[in-house]
Structure 1
Amino acid sequence: MLSRTALLSVQRPLGVLAMRSASAAGSGDQVARRERPEHPGKVRLGFIPEEWFQFFYNKTGVTGPYTFGVGLLTYLCSKEIYVMEHEYYSGLSLAIMAIVAVKKLGPTVAAWTDKEIDRIENEWKSGREEELQNLAEAIEAEKKEQWRAEGALLLMDAKKENIALQLEAAFRERAMNVYTEVKRRLDYQVECRHIERRINQKHMVNWIVNNVLGSITPQQEKETLDKCIADLSALAVRAK
């Protein structure tokens, strides 16, 4: 039923493999280091590291890993360690269906999901850009409001300066009014003094004249008049 060669390859004692590994340690390490893959993260069959294949290649040849895998699977199935009951075939059928679905429907679903992802990403991107635009506009509006606030402060300073100038003008106007009123009152007092002096002078002159006129007798007046006529006659003679 099963290949004897496969069974023998699987049931080979582990001690023989250990002896072969020890005997080939010196040269095998050099070969392994020389043939070590440049990319240690590379895998085969989706989950087996490349280093394992290289190790088996160096120890058993190129067909060693595949022979080991087939022999191990044959051993597990022949010894009924892995029992193939109805669930195994159900799982095998489901695996085949899954593979077929992935192969047939995978590209279509992948394209649809890619489109959905692109659409969602574009929506998020557009929303983010719109939010950034709104934030930028808000920043510009805030800067404009700050500029307006600075202008309001300048306007307030200008109003304060204008009020100070108005107060200065009112102060100067009132000071001029005070000067005018004081000067007018002083001029009035000076004029009063002048009038009083003129009146006193006129009264004194009249008093003196009246007293002088009152002290002159008619005889003295006649003598004075005659003397004046004589003086005028003498002056007339001299003038001739």
Structure 2
Amino acid sequence: MLSRVALRSAAARQSASTALVARSSATDVAGVRDEKNFPRPVRGEPGKVRLGFVPEEWFQFFHSKTGVTGPYTFGVGLATYLCSKEIYVMEHEYYSGLSLLVMIYVAAKKLGPSISAYLDKEVDAVEAGWNEGRAETIKSLEDAIAEEKKSQWRAEGQELLVQAKRENVLLQLEAAYWERLMNTYTEVKRRLDYQLEKSNLERRLAQRHMVDWIVTNVTKAITPDQEKQTLDRCIADLAALAPRK
């Protein structure tokens, strides 16, 4: 147990010393942590033990050299050597410690699972409390990102609306252009029709005036004798034509 604590404390000091160096590389230019190359630390779980307190690493160390029974042989031989040489004196405290060890073993077997579950629950509750603020921050940032995406979608809709309005204005301008062009055509045609009608009227008036002038002058040129002769000749022609019918 003490060796594991020492190893863990050394690893913790080493990780603390390298944390400052890795902190600059763990974040990019925008200040966001690189989760892929520098994942967040996870709470470690205790390693496996045998006989309640002996680390599994010790047995693995002996297994590669002495086999399966090597660690047990070493432990029994070491205890036998300490006791035989009276390096470890078995006085009354030894038996008190032995009885206390038996009591601790029985208590660990009886109450250990429930206490372990309770302590694990407390540790999980503390860890959840520590991660609650981070989870809320992540949730708020995700909501902000969702709102930003929705705002971008609305902005794209506004761009489509502006484009539709621009096309509508262009159609209105084109309709106004064709309407003005039609008005210009109508006005020009009306004025041309007016000029044509004016020319026709002037020509008819000139023809009528000329006819009246010719008739008047011819009438003035005919004397009463010529008129009487012409009338007699007409009567004679009519009389000559009457028997033929």
> TM-score interval w.r.t. the shorter chain?
0.5 to 0.7
| Residue 46 (structure 1) aligned to one of 39, 54, 72 | 54
| Residue 113 (structure 1) aligned to one of 119, 142, 145 | 119
| Residue 197 (structure 2) aligned to one of 148, 171, 191 | 191
Task: Quote how far apart the aligned CAs of 1:141 are.
Answer: 3.3
Q: Which residue of 2 aligns with 1:182?
A: 188
Whole-angstrom CA distance in 1 between matches of 2:200 and 2:123: 113
Deviates more, 1:101-110 or 1:156-165: 101-110
Q: Which residue of 2 aligns with 1:219?
A: 225
| Residue 170 (structure 1) aligned to one of 176, 184, 194 | 176
For the pair 1:155 / 2:161, whether they are aligned, the reply is: yes
Output the TM-score relative to the length of structure 1. Answer: 0.57
Whole-angstrom CA distance in 2 between matches of 1:148 and 1:154: 10
Whole-angstrom CA distance in 2 between matches of 1:180 and 1:67: 126
Q: Partner amino acid for 2:221?
A: S
Whole-angstrom CA distance in 1 between matches of 2:74 and 2:123: 45
Q: Name which structure has the greater RCO, CA cutoff 8 Å, separation 6+.
A: 1
Q: Which residue of 1 aligns with 2:10?
A: none
Task: Quote how far apart the aligned CAs of 1:138 are.
Answer: 4.1
What pairs up with 1:117-156 in 2 under 5 angstroms?
117-123=123-129, 134-156=140-162
Q: Which residues of structure 1 form unaligned runs of 5+?
A: 1-40, 83-88
Q: Which residues of structure 2 form unaligned runs of 5+?
A: 1-47
Whole-angstrom CA distance in 1 between matches of 2:77 and 2:193: 141
Relative to structure 1, is the Cα distance of residues 98 and 129 closer, same or farther in structure 2, using a 3 angstrom cutoff?
Answer: farther
Q: Which residue of 1 aligns with 2:244?
A: 238
Relative to structure 1, is the Cα distance of residues 146 and 65 closer, same or farther in structure 2, using a 3 angstrom cutoff?
Answer: closer
Relative to structure 1, is the Cα distance of residues 204 and 53 closer, same or farther in structure 2, using a 3 angstrom cutoff?
Answer: closer
Task: Quote how far apart the aligned CAs of 1:229 are.
Answer: 1.1
Percent of counterpart pairs with the same letter? 46
Write the deviation string for residues 160-184 of structure 1: whole angstroms up to 9, x where unpaired.
Answer: 1111110111001100111111111
Write the deviation string for residues 12-49 of structure 1: whole angstroms up to 9, x where unpaired.
Answer: xxxxxxxxxxxxxxxxxxxxxxxxxxxxx987772655
**C-alpha RMSD of matched pairs (Å):** 4.5
Whole-angstrom CA distance in 2 between matches of 1:138 and 1:114: 35
Write the deviation string for residues 41-99 of structure 1: whole angstroms up to 9, x where unpaired.
Answer: 987772655459949x89xxx9786455444566585xxxx9xxxxxx9xxx99x9999
